[in-house]
Amino acid sequence: MLPHSGCPGQAQFPFRERMSAMPNPPTTAPTTVDLAHDRTVMAKFRTQLALDRTTLAWIRTTLTMTTFGIGIIGFFRSLREKSPTPLAVHLHENAIRFGVALVVLSIVATMLVAFSHVSTLRRLRRDETPVLSVWPLSITLALMLSVIGLASLWMLLGDVPYIAPAPR
């Protein structure tokens, strides 16, 4: 409950006390229009910060995909060097394809995220409403990863060199 001033029913507002303590206090209290404008400006600022966080999350995701693709290539390369069997050679060749596909996909996703970020910022600066895409980047990337995974499995299992069982 707010403390009352000398007149009954009139509340004393804390911002008036702060304003009176200022060296050059404003002569009038902020109007409703001023407050609405401030809220709109802050909403745009929060939207831009959210956009920045989303873009940074995408960059983190694409860097992880690139690292994973390069790591797979390196792992199967070391496996091939330790035992140069036909199966190890086959696995290494398919790992190269899969790793390169992940790196290319991460580069494409990074470029698309950058384009999306810049176009959304332009819309915000022109006071336009940002547009939601029919195919969000996350769904597009998930579908492309599924296709790459299925293609990798097909290449891996499609032409596996036959290894005869060891004689007893």
SS3 (DSSP) at 4: strand
Contacts of 161 (CB under 8 A, 6+ apart): 86, 87, 90
User: pTM of the prediction?
Assistant: 0.64
Q: Is the pLDDT of residue 5 over 50?
A: no
| CA 127 vs CA 40, 55, 113, 152: distances in Å | 10, 21, 21, 45
Task: State the pLDDT at residue 37.
Answer: 66
Task: State the pLDDT at residue 13.
Answer: 44
Q: What is the pLDDT of residues 84-117, one digit of tens each?
A: 888 888 888 888 888 998 999 999 999 999 998 8
Q: From the CA atom positions of the chain, what is the Rg in Å?
A: 30
9, two tokens: 């029913």
Task: State the pLDDT at residue 103.
Answer: 92
| CA 44 vs CA 7, 35, 115, 129, 140: distances in Å | 41, 14, 19, 11, 27
- Spatial separation of the C-alpha atoms in residues 130 and 42, rounded to whole Å: 16
- As a whole number of Å, the end-to-end CA separation of the chain is 92
Sign of CA dihedral 34, 38, 43, 44: positive
Task: State the pLDDT at residue 71.
Answer: 93
Task: State the pLDDT at residue 129.
Answer: 78
Kindly report the average pLDDT of the chain as a whole number: 77
Beta-carbon count within 10 A of 101 CB: 19
| CA 11 vs CA 7, 16, 22, 35, 50: distances in Å | 9, 11, 21, 20, 38
